[in-house]
Structures are given as C-alpha cells and as structure tokens.
Chains A and B, each alone.
Chain A
Amino acid sequence: MALSGMRGLSVFISDIRNCQNKEQERLRVDKELGNVRTRFKNEKGLTPYEKKKYVWKMLYIYMLGYDVDFGHMEAVSLISAPKYPEKQVGYIVTSCLLNENHDFLRLAINTVRNDIIGRNETFQCLALTMVGNIGGREFAESLAPDVQKLLISSSCRPLVRKKAALCLLRLYRKNPDVVNVDGWSDRMAQLLDERDLGVLTSSMSLLVALVSNNHDAYWSCLPKCVKILERLARNQDVPQEYTYYGIPTPWLQVKTMRALQYFPTIEDPNTRRSLFEVLQRILMGTDVVKNVNKNNASHAVLFEALALVMHLDAEKEMMSQCVALLGKFIAVREPNIRYLGLENMTRMLMVSDVQDIIKRHQAQIITSLKDPDISIRRRALDLLYGMCDISNAKDIVEELLQYLSSADFAMREELSLKAAILAEKFAPDLSWYVDVILQLIDKAGDFVSDDIWFRVVQFVTNNEDLQPYAAAKAREYLDKPAIHETMVKVSAYLLGEYSHLLARRPGCSPKEIFGIIHEKLPTVSTSTVPILLSTYAKILMHTQPSDPELQNQIWAIFSKYESCIDVEIQQRAVEYFALSRKGAALMDILAEMPKFPERQSSLLKKAEDAEVDTAEQSAIKLRAQQQTSNALVVTDQRPANGTPYVGQLGLVMVPSSANADHNLENQGPAQENGTLSQVDPQSPSPSADLLGDLLGPLAIEGPPGAAAPTEHVIPASEGDPNPADALALAPVDEQTNSVQPIGNIAERFHALCLKDSGVLYEDPYIQIGIKAEWRAHHGRLVLFLGNKNTSSLASVQALILPPSHLKMELSLVPETIPPRAQVQCPLEVMNLRPSRDVAVLDFSYKFGTSSVNVKLRLPAVLNKFLHPISVTAEEFFPQWRSLSGPPLKLQEVVRGVRPMLLLEMANLFNSLRLMVCPGLDPNANNLVASTTFYSESTRAMLCLMRIETDPADRTQLRMTVSSGDPTLTFELKEFIKEQLVSIPTATRPPAPEVAQPTSAVTSLTDPGAMLAGLL
C-alpha cells in the first residue's frame, strides 16, 4: 500500500477505521470538524497544502454522512489557486459537494472561464469537468460558445475535446434555450469522423442527446454512426488500449447503437444494408465463452443489437432470430443473461407482433417466476403480465394465484394487482373472474386494495346472471374459519344485495345469512361496520313476509349503534332504523343497486402508480392500457328513471320523481344531515365521479351533480350516438396553450399528407413523429412520442377522435414518458368508406406547471388509401365511357385555382398518388390520371380523372372525376379540388363553384376528341 501524500489525512482515516461503533466515529468526526473549522477561521496561517488536506478531510467526512456546509467556501476558493494540485482539489471537491444552485459557484465563474479559455490544457480539463458535472444556467450563458469552440477546434488535443463534448452535453440538457445548437448537424457529422476513440465516445453521448431531441436535423450523422459501428465490429483501426478482452470498446459500440435507435427509420437502402450486415454479424457471431468479462462485454453489444433490430422492425426473418435468441437466454443458468433475456422479451412485446412466438416460452417463464432471485422474479412477472391475453389468461392467472401464497411480501401487492387486472381483462367467463378475485382476497387479503373488491362488486351488479353465483360463493367463504376483513366486506355486500336469490338453498335463509355475517361483527374494524349495517337493512327488506324475530334483532343492533362515536356508523344506524319502520317505503329506498356506468378500471390507474419502481417497463403500461376490459361486458345502461347515480357503492338507490318528494318530506333527520337532500330528479346529470369508482363514502348520498356543477360532461355519456364524429370536425386550430409549438402545425400536417414519415408536432418539450405504412384499405401509423427533457412528461394522454369512416385503434400511450425517452405507439387504421373527414389526435401532457393540450389532425387522409395505377388507352376509354354521368361521373369548373404550371400540377397529382398518364389526352394542356381507391365498402375501385386547364387563365380549370361509387366520385372530386384551390387549412375553402351539367355526347374518332365528347 502506497503512502498517502497527506499524513494528517491518513491519520484521520486510520482513526475512523479503528472506531468500534458509530458513536465513536461521530466523536472522532466532531473533533475533526472542530479542528478544521478553527483552522479555516484563522486562514492566515494556512498554507495551500494544508488547505488542500482539510478540504479532502471534509470530503471524507461528507462521504461518511456528516454535514460540511461550513467548508463549501473553502473548497470553491481552491479553484482559484495558481498551482495544479490545489486547483484540482478545488474543482473535484466542489463538484462533489455543491450543486448547480449553490451561490458560491457564482464566485468561481470567472476563474472557471479563464481556465477554459486559457492555454493550460490540464486546467481546461479540470474546469470542463466541473462545469460538465454541476454547471447551471449561468455557466451555460457565459461558457457555451467557448465550449463549443473547444470541441471542434483542430488545435485542441483529444483529452480536452472529449471533456468539452460532455460539458456541452450538460449545458445543453440543462438549458436547451441558452445553448444554441442550430447548425450543429454538420459539426456533429464532422465530429463523428474523429479517429480518437475517447473523443468519439463522448461525442456519441452528445449525439444521443441531440438526436433524441430532433432527429430530423441529424440525418447526416446516421450513415456515419453506421460506419463507426462497422469499423468497431470489424475491429479495424482500433488501438489495443481500446480493446477490452478482445472486443473493440464495447461501450462505444453500445452507445452508437443507442444513437441509431433515435432515428425512426433508415431510408437509404445502402446504409440500411450495411447496418443489417453488422447486426447480423453480432447476432450470429456472439458465442458464449469461458471468460466472464469477455462474455459480458460481447453480450452487452448483443443486447443492444437486439434492441436496435426491434426498433428498426426488420424483416420478420431477423425478428424471429431475435426471439429465438431471447428464448435461449431465458433458459440459461447464468442469472444475468436470464434476467436480461426476460427484460428484453418484455420490451419486445411492445414493439412487434411476436406474441405467439413468445407464448411458446410460457412454461420457461413461469419457472423463472419461482426463481430464488427477486430481480428475476420481477422480470418474469412483468413479462407474464405483458404477454397475457385471452388464450393464456387462465393459465397465467392461476399460476400467479398459486405463487401468491409463497411470494415474498415485497411482491404480493404488485402480484395481486396484476392478477386482478388480468382476470378482469381476459376472463373467459365472469364466474371465473369472481372466483379469481375471491381467491385473491382469501390468499392475500392484506395486499388486496379496496379498488379490487369495488371492481368485483361493480361487475356483479352489472351482470344479473352473475349475481346468484357470486352470492353463493360469498356465502361459502363465510363458512371458513378466520377470513380476512376484506372478505367480510365483499361477502357482506354481495349477500346484502343478492342473498335473496339464494333463499331456497340450505343455510341461506335470511336468518342464517344474518347470523353468519353478524358473527363477524365483533372482529371487524369501524370501516367495515357501516357495510354490515347496510347489509342488515337489506336483509330485513328482502325478508318477506317479515320475520319479527329477525326484525327485532336487527333493530336492536341499529339502536345500539345510534349512539356510536363514529359518525358514519351512527348516521347509518339512525337512518336505517328510521327507514326500516316505514315498511313499504323501505322497499323503494333499499332496492337493489342500479347498474354502474361503464368506466375505466381504476385498477389500471393503480397499476401505473405501482410501476414507479420499475418505471421503464412501459411495455406493461402500454398493454395494460391497450385493452380495456374487453372480456367482461359491463353494461352502460342508465337506470330507467334517469336518476343520477348516487355515491358509487351507496347502498341506497335514490328514489325517483314523486317518490322522492314524498320521502323527502318524511326524512327529517336525514335531510338535516344533508344526505338525502339535493335530490333533483329534473336535472339528471351523469355522476360527477366517474372515475372515483367506489372510493366515495359509503353512506346514502345525494347526487354529486349539485356538488360539482362544473364537472365536464363526458361526451359518451351524453347519449350522443357518435360523439367522435362531431369532434373530429371541430376546428383544430384554436388552442390556448402557453407552450408554443415549434414550426407550423398546419404545414407539418400538409407535408405529412404527401409523405409517410416526418414530424407531426413539436414544442420545447415533446416531439411527435409519425411513420406510416399503407396497404389497401389498411394503414399502420406509428406515433413516436419523444420527450425532449431531462425530466418526465406526466399525464400524457392521447385520444383519437376518428371520423365515422375510419376505424382506428391506438395502442394506448403510457401516462408518463421518461426523460429523453421515445415511446412508439402504433395506430391501426381501417378505411371503411370514402370520405374526406380527418381524424384528430387529442394530445395532452403536463410538464412541470405547464399543461399542454393540442388537437392535431392526423394524416390518415383520403389519398393515403389510393394506389397509383397506370392505365393504357385501351383500358381507359371503355371504362371512361361506361361511367357516363352523375352520380358516378362528376364534372365541375373550378375557379380560384392556385396558379401552377402543368408540370407542377402533374407532380402534385403524382404525390397525391393519382398517377398521371401522359399521352392519353392529346391536348397538352390537359391531364389524365388514374388511381385505385381502397376501402372496406368499395373494395378496390378504379378512379379516373381528367383536368382541362386554360393556358390563358391558370386560376380556373375543368375537372372530371369518375369511379364506380357515387360517394367516392364526389369525395375524390372535392378532395382534389381542395388540393388545387389553396393550401388546405382546417376549414375547407368555401365551394366557389357550381357543378356543371354534363354536356351532350358527341361521337368523334380521335382519342382527345373522344374524351372531350365523353365529358
């Protein structure tokens, strides 16, 4: 062991090391802190060497967990020391102790700047590193240009430039508004030509940040990244120092592949081919070797390559190779590889259609669910959860239930929540769902949140067939000796509502039911007592003819609780007692609960919260949101009388109309409590608390409508048969966000109408890219939601408002987008019939205090369902002739056309996928075009059109469109007109023209004349 240069420091460390316990350590530290403090106070006597020594002691003490705020100033002051050893300590300790918001840092800013622009390389490195670690806004403002200069300076040595790259990265991330990176694409591309691998490693990190923010600007870097990867993968020109166990710097390889994952696609076929060759080589050529380090390093590269292949959504061939590899990995003994295999398989679920292949590994994955290592178990659980669908739900859920009894406590809550969600989403039948939830409560009651049992109650209430079954099950569980309190709640509730359906079964008479529930009363907490009281009231109501003995028993309980200290219990006792004396009136008020409105499961929301620990596993979230309970049909039927819903699990149905008045008059005490008041049958408003599920208080409540009058009405509950339609046509330009979009939204949309990938929307926080593929009447759009920040975007919501002619299915979007992450959300589109209506994406998110909501038109427009087709004269004319007039052939003179040359117009047509067929019309001023339109109703349909322009007046033209479908002809004509008249905007241009009557047919011989004649 070499001796430390600082004896005092060594002595102190030895002392600390010899301390027997924490208390001794504290005493020793306190003594030293006193010493350091005094020395700092008498600064005059302190040599630079001593100062350095004390600052190190401080850092040591800080590391042990003691406060050293008093010494910050000393550390910062060392930065200005003239000699390297002191300066170095100043810089390093300052960046350990302080953060960007410390005021002291400001004092050093001048020194730091001088060091950076000075000639001393070692000083430059120190300063760049500190700014790179803790530099804040003021540093960005005063230093960014200098740092940028250093990075690209040809006279700077690599050791400075690599630090400049990461320093710039920090400044840019922290203050993208201050650091100007416009025009940096060329410089980045130049930087990537760098031979020094240290500079390249840092630059690649910088590139990742820049590209993740705005990949469009950095296309030129893409081929360079591929080149670098080729160089490394082939081990060309890689110095020995950068070879790690025979592998050319695995870290740079990984980083380069990471950068490539930020480009949505690779268009250039040559680059794509080269990249796939490299990837293929990595996938095929990575063998398991004995040396652990070599093995890890090569697999680090391999896993990154897998991620890149998944991202690029390569030809199916390579994808199945990936799944095969992952399948191999999840079966190996080596725990790291198994863990990563499971993790990456989960990621794979998110990006591509490989579920069926993954399902083959189900048994293996279930084995991992029982692994001794909790890290692996968690991955296995996530994967099982993600891969679950109707076909395997029963197996997986039962597996989870079985595992629940032996699972460690750390996982039980997550496990039971996931089992509940899967059971709900994929239940093959409802009774199975009820079984699962009751088992869940039975096995892990402590870990079953209220939402879970609320949800099962909702389902039972909404599905009449299920009620006797559920009641019988609940009754069975009550026979078990010690049951969990949650089980008492759910059983009591279900039996209160539905036990009368069991009346003829043995052990199910009202008296027996009451008896077995009442047995539990002494064991339950105050939160359960109100539920039991409600159950008693219900049992009493259902007992016809009434049983005086039972009635007296229950009344005795009510009167006992009338003076209960708990308000909820007391109120219920009083009210039920009063109500149960009403006789017939009781029937109405205590009638069965009406059906609950359909709503999103609060479990899913909860699942998202539970993901905090494993934030990145958004595959789970995505899929959790994708399928709203499709297996269980919850009716959204409103109660016949139109009365608003009462507090969701309130046991008492608010009586309707006349009855209500009658009751109100008689319910003096209740009214004073404000519980039965506010019933206003004249204004049926939907329950304000649609998502609050059953969390509301359990007492009898007035409708919440009055309490929350400003609640927005959810369109779907308004009885509007097709609310989305109306919204899709709403003007999309009026947005009142404080966050300003970058670029013109309308122009971006217009550009995307003509091409299939690009940016749909961008603002300082987010970028939404789009990539689309169209095949016949199907389309697949992928939305790329890229978070540009270093903190998460929250409350992300994307809602598709499709017009009636499009069927659109968006795989739902995670609620938060992690920093710097890009989320891909596939959107499936099916075109049902021809229409020009446009789908709208209602997108919102929160960042810090600003919340942004934009409505964006989606480029799933009519021309995307066109397929250009070239027709010959022999095909064209018979067709043209056979479609002989309205409504299949429409003609119109269009005025106010945006002036353009014929060639431009031809280009426009071609880009709209209307194929211009030259030579068919002999008149050089005319255009003839053809295309095929695809929709579900029309199937493939040939469309033909002819444009006759007037060289003297380019602002008008005559247009004839024909197809085999009248709607299609009309829509297509209008669509082309929109494209010609002006740059399309949200509102359609007013129709400036009147359809011309079809002219009389004159028979002529040459094609042009014939065309004219046919018009």
Chain B
Amino acid sequence: MGIRFILMVNKQGQTRLAQYYEYLNLEERRALEGEIVRKCLARNEQQCSFVEHRTYKIVYRRYASLFFLVGVDNGENELAILEFIHLLVETMDRHFGNVCELDIMFHLEKAHFMLEEMVMNGCIVETSKANILAPIQLMDKAS
C-alpha cells in the first residue's frame, strides 16, 4: 500500500508529528517509535538512508535537529520516498519560510493539513506545492 507512517522526531527522540496510514494502537505506536528512533538516530551521515525494521523499510532524512522518518512497504521505491520527504520539507519551507522544528511543533495543525493534501491512505495525492498549499492559504486569508 506504499507509505505506512510518517514520523517527525527531533534529535532527542521526541515525536513532533506522527501520522499513521494503518491503525496501530497506542502501545504498538509507542513501541514502534521507540525502536525506530533508537535504530535511526544512532546512524551517521556516511550511512545510507534506509533501515530495515520488522516488516517495514524506514526511509529517513535529517534536517538540522529534525528527523523525517517514513515507513514504507518493502516493495516501495526508496529514492522516490526519500525525495518525497524533501518535497514535504520544501513545501513547509514555502509556507513557514525557513521552517524549523518549532514551526512544526507550534503549528501541528498546519503540518497535518499539508500532509493531508500530500498523502492519503498511504498513497501520494499531490506533488505540486502550489496545489498543496492552496487550501491553507485560503484559510489563512479567511481568518
């Protein structure tokens, strides 16, 4: 089915955003996030961006203090997901201007709105930044 979850975690291992496309209960989420964070955050720059964990493959990328971790099925195209992360970051950048961890933290709802426009049911819906941001801009204008 493609993307199974998207996590944003800071370098202390605190979750800043979690979006799952398959249902896991709270316990399962906590365990999974803990395992993944331990595995991925310990890796260095010279290592590849893919980590195999349970039945997932984690494709991850680090931006300053924030890690973007995307869990995908094993058959997924890893590099396409890696660049999708970057597209997400660029999109947030366009909206927030020089996006940082705090932007995502304090504007969790906006981060969710953007994700909602980009991914649905684990599949990519939209890759045009203008289209992704259109509803948010509309709302900002209204308020």
A interface residue numbers (CB < 8 A to B): 1-2, 4-5, 10, 13, 17, 56, 59-60, 62-67, 84-85, 88-89, 92, 96, 99-100, 122, 125, 129, 132-134, 159, 162-163, 166-167, 169-170, 173, 197-198, 201-202, 205, 239, 241-242, 244, 249-252, 254-255, 258, 293, 296-297, 299-300, 303-304, 335-336, 338-340, 372-373, 375-376, 378, 612-617, 790, 818-821
Contact = CB atoms under 8 A, between A and B. Distances in A.
Interface majority SS (helix, strand, loop, mixed), chain A? helix
Contacts of B96: 1-2
Contacts, number: 188
B113 interface: yes
Given A17-B105, A67-B26, A614-B74, 8 more contacts: A92-B116, A122-B135, A132-B121, A201-B127, A250-B80, A251-B124, A293-B83, A821-B75
Interface of B: 1-2, 15, 17-21, 23, 26, 29-30, 33, 43, 46-55, 73-75, 77-80, 82-84, 86-87, 96, 100, 102-103, 105-109, 112-113, 116, 120-121, 123-131, 134-135, 138-139, 142-143
A254 B80 contact: yes
A240 to B, nearest CB: 9
Nearest to A171: B121
Contacts of A617: 74
Given A4-B106, A84-B139, A96-B19, A372 B80 contact: no
Given A64-B15, A99-B23, A169-B121, A205 B2 contact: yes
B51 to A, nearest CB: 6
Given A5-B143, A205-B2, A373-B47, A13 B105 contact: yes
A1 B55 CA distance: 38
A300 B107 contact: no
B120 A163 contact: yes
B34 to A, nearest CB: 9
A201 B124 contact: yes
A202 B125 contact: yes
24 contacts: A1-B96, A1-B106, A2-B96, A5-B143, A65-B26, A65-B30, A129-B120, A134-B23, A162-B125, A166-B125, A197-B128, A198-B131, A201-B127, A202-B120, A202-B123, A241-B131, A254-B80, A293-B83, A297-B79, A304-B80, A339-B50, A340-B79, A613-B53, A614-B52
A159 B73 CA distance: 27
A89 B109 contact: yes
A198 B143 contact: no
Nearest to A67: B26
A416 B31 CA distance: 28
B75 A132 contact: no
Contacts of B103: 1-2
A790 B1 contact: yes
Contacts of B15: 63-65
Given A100-B23, A198-B128, A244-B83, A63 B75 contact: no
Nearest to B75: A616
B75 to A, nearest CB: 6
A215 to B, nearest CB: 17
Contact of B75 (A85, A241, A340, A818): A818
A297 B49 CA distance: 14
Contacts of A338: 48
A205 B124 contact: yes
B88 to A, nearest CB: 12
B83 A820 contact: no
B107 A2 contact: yes
Given A251-B84, A335-B46, A132 B120 contact: yes
Contact of B78 (A62, A122, A340): A340
Contact of B48 (A13, A300, A335): A335
Contact of A1 (B2, B102, B129, B135): B102
Nearest to B47: A373
A373 B121 contact: no
A438 to B, nearest CB: 31
Contact of B125 (A85, A163, A250, A304): A163
A300 B79 contact: yes
A787 to B, nearest CB: 12
B47 A375 contact: yes
A241 B48 contact: no
A602 B3 CA distance: 35
Contact of B52 (A1, A249, A251, A375): A375
Nearest to B82: A296
B42 to A, nearest CB: 10
B41 to A, nearest CB: 14
Contacts of B129: 241
A718 B138 CA distance: 77
A10 B102 CA distance: 11
A17 B82 CA distance: 29
Contacts of A56: 108-109
A375 B50 contact: yes
B107 to A, nearest CB: 6
B46 A85 contact: no
A60 to B, nearest CB: 6
A84 B113 CA distance: 13
A133 B4 CA distance: 11
